[in-house]
Amino acid sequence: MPSASRPTTWLVTGSSRGIGFEIVRQLVDSPNNLVVAACRSPEKATALHGLKATAKGTLHLVQLDVSDFDSIRAAAKPLEAILGDIGLDYLINNAAIAILDTAFTLDPEDLLRSVRTNVAGPALVAQICLPFLNKSERKVILNVSSTGGSIATAETVGAKLASYGMSKAALNMLTVKQKAERPDIITITLCPGWVKTDMGGKEAQLEPEESVSGILKVITSATQEDSGKYLRYNGEVIPW
C-alpha cells in the first residue's frame, strides 16, 4: 500500500463526464489522493476545471483520447512529469463508446471503432502506464467493462448493442491476459451497473454516486486473490 509519506496516485480515463467524472470527484475529496484526470479535450472540460479549483486532493488534467493511439503515446510525457518520481497506484480504464446496433445490422467500421476505443486503447494506456505502475507497491488496473460483455448472460441482453458487447468481451480477455503476464499487478474487469449518465440514459437504475462508491470500495480492498476476476460494482462475481 502507498506509504503515509506519499499520496495515493490515480489515473482515470474518460474523466470529463459520467462515471469517469464521478470517480474523479469522489477521489479528490481526499487530500491523500493525487489524481490524473485524462480526457479527449481538457480545455473544454468545464466541470473538471471547476473541480480542480475546489479539490482537496491534487488534480491534474491530461489530454488523452483512447481512440487515438498517437494521443495515448503522447500522454507519456506529461504523465512522467506528474508521476515519474512517485509511480501510479491505480489505473482506471474507464473511457468507452457504445453503438446501438445488432449482429445483422452493424457497420463493420463501427465494430472496429468500438474495438479500437474499448479494447485497443485501454491496452495501450496500460502499456504506457506500466513504468509508473512498476514504481508502486499497490499496482492495480481496473478495466471498466459491462455485463454486456458476459457470454454466459448474453441472451438476457438480447440482440442490441452487438459491437459494444463484443468489444467488452474482448476487454475481459485483455484483463485475464494482463494478469497472466504480470501476476504481481491486480487486474480486475468490472461492470459499474446501469448508471444514469449520458451513455446509460435517464431510465438507468443507479445514480453515479452509488455506482462509483461501490467501484472504489471494490478496487481499494482488492487483493491478489481478486486479480483476473469479472465483478459488479458491488463486488458480486459476473459469469464469463
CB 214 within 8 A of CB 235: yes
* Domains by residue range for the chain, with CATH: 8-96+120-150+171-232 (3.40.50.720)
Confidence of residue 169 (pLDDT cuts 50, 70, 90): very high
Q: For the residues 139-155, what does the mean pLDDT come to?
A: 96
Q: Which three cell numbers stand for residue 29?
A: 475529496
Q: Which residues pair with 62 in a beta bridge?
A: 38
- 172-197 pLDDT, tens digit per residue, is 999 999 999 999 999 999 999 978 77
Amino acid identity for residue 144 in this structure: V
3-state secondary structure of 142: strand
* Burial class, 58, CB count within 10 angstroms (exposed 0-12 / middle 13-18 / buried 19+): middle
Cell of 175: 484483463
Task: Indicate the pLDDT class of residue 57, thresholds 50, 70 and 90.
Answer: confident
